[in-house]
Amino acid sequence: MKRRKFIQSASLSGLGVVAGSAVISCAESSTSSENKPEKMVNKVSLPVVVATWNVNNATAKAWEQLQQGKSSLDAIEAGCMVEEANAEGQSVGIGGLPDRDGNVTLDACIMNKNGDYGAVVYLQNIKHPISVARRVMEDTPHVILAGKGAEKFAIESGFKPEDLLTEKSRADWEKWKEKSEYKPIINIENHDTIGMLAIDSKGDIAGGCTTSGLAYKMAGRVGDSPIIGSGLFIDNEVGGATATGLGEAVLKTVGSFLIVELMRQGKSPQEACEEAIGRIVAKNKNIEDFQVGFIAVNKKGETGAYAIHNGFWQTRYQDNKNENIPSDFYNKKS
Ligand code: SD4
C-alpha cells in the first residue's frame, strides 16, 4: 500500500469511538449509507491540534488548553511556547542555531479566528517570539515588528531579555565556521520550525509558526515563517495551513495561503498540500537540495501533510490520541 493510502486509511481507522469530543460525519463516498461499513465513514472529531515534526509535548500542551475550554488561540500560544523553551531544539527559541555572525534571530507569527495576525521578525534575546507576536496582534495597531523595535516592544511588554545562544549551538556554529559552507539542512533532527494549527470545541481555528530560521543564514535574513500566507494562513470559514523547510521556496509560492484557497475550492487538506508542493517542484530545478513540508486542516477537522522529500512528520492530537504521523512526499527517490 502506498504511504499516502496508508496514512489516509490510518487516519480513518479508530475513529469509531470518540470520548468527549464532537464527531462530524463527512462521508464522501458514492456508496449508499445503509451499505457503508462504519470504517468507510470519514468521521472527524474536534477539537484537533496538528503540528509540524515530532513535537508531542507541544501538541499535548495545546490539547490540555483545549480540554480546559480555552480558545484555539490560547492553545497555539501555549503549545508553541513548549518548543521555544526547549533548549535542546536547535531550530526554535532558545538554543536555535545562529546566523553566520553568531546571532540567534527568531521569527514567529500567530493568527486568530477573525483573521487578525501578529508577527515578529529578526527578534533577538527573547525566548518566546510567539507570545510577542500575539502582543503585537492584540496590543498594537501594527501586524509586524522587526529587529530592535520588536525587542524594545517585548521588553516594554514585560518579556525578559536573555542570551539565546546555548553552548551546544555556539560549538556547532564554531565548527561550521571552519568551512563556512552554506547549505540548507534537510530534516534537522526531525524537529524543526514549529507550525501549529488548532480547532477548539467551538470550531474556531487558530495557528502559529515559530522558528530560529535557517541555520547559518545571512545576517538580516527573514524566512517564510512569520509572513502571512507563506509560513501560515488561517481562514476560520475554511481551515488553516502552515509550512516548514526552505522559506525562500515557500515565500515565492505563498504556500499556506494557496493551500487554504485550494481547500476553499473543495480540495481536501491532503490534496491541497500536494498541489502546493507541486507548485514548488515545478518552479525549482534543484529540489534535491532542499526540503519543504506543509500541514493543513479544514473546518471539519480533516488533516493533510505533504513534503518534497521523505523524513517529514506531523504530530496530530485528535480523538484523545497524540500521534506522530509520517508524511507522504513527492520525491520517491529520497
Ligand atoms: C525558514 N521555514 O526560516 C524556516 C525554516 C524551517 O525547517 O522551517 N526549517 O525558512
β-strands 292-298, 303-307: how paired? antiparallel
Look over the chain and give the mean of its residue pLDDT values, rounded to a whole number.
87
Tell me, yes or no, whether 26 lies in a domain. no
Does a structural domain hold residue 104? yes
d(CA 241, CA 260): 6
User: Taking the C-alpha atoms of 11, 13, 16 and 22 in order, what is their torsion angle to the nearest 10 degrees?
Assistant: 0
The reply to whether 25 falls in a domain is no
- 7-16, 144-153, 225-234, 259-268: least confidently modelled range: 7-16
pLDDT confidence of residue 333:
85
- The predicted-structure confidence for 215-229, as pLDDT tens digits, reads as follows 999 999 999 999 999
CA distance 182 to 42: 45
Q: Would you say residue 109 lies in a domain?
A: yes
What is the rounded CA–CA span in Å between residue 287 and residue 309?
A: 9
Q: How far is CA 154 from the centre of its chain?
A: 23
pLDDT the model gives residue 179: 87
For cell 522559506, the residue is: 247
CA quadruple 66, 72, 73, 79: dihedral, nearest 10: 60
In this structure, is residue 19 part of a structural domain? Answer: no
Three cell numbers, residue 10: 490510518
Nearest to 47 by CA among 16, 68, 28, 26: 68
The span from the CA of 111 to the CA of 115, in Å, is 6
Question: Mind listing the pLDDT tens digit for each residue in 274-299?
Answer: 999 999 999 999 999 899 999 999 99
For ligand 1, the distance from its centroid to the CA atom of residue 225, given in whole angstroms, is: 7
Q: Is residue 32 part of a domain?
A: no
For 268, list phi and psi in degrees, rounded to 5.
-75, 165
Number of domains observed in the structure of the chain: 1
Task: Tell me, yes or no, if 211 is annotated catalytic.
Answer: no
Give domain status of residue 122, yes or no. yes
Domain interval for residue 194: 3-11+37-329
The residues facing 194 across adjacent strands are 210
Q: Best substitution site from 52, 211, 222, 292 to test ligand 1's pocket, by max atoms within 8 Å of Cβ? A: 211
pLDDT for residue 39: 42
Residue bearing the CA closest to ligand 1, atom 3 = 213
CATH assignment at residue 254: 3.60.20.30
Residue at 238 is within a domain: yes
Q: CA angle 232-233-235, nearest 5°?
A: 155
| Confidence (pTM) | 0.88
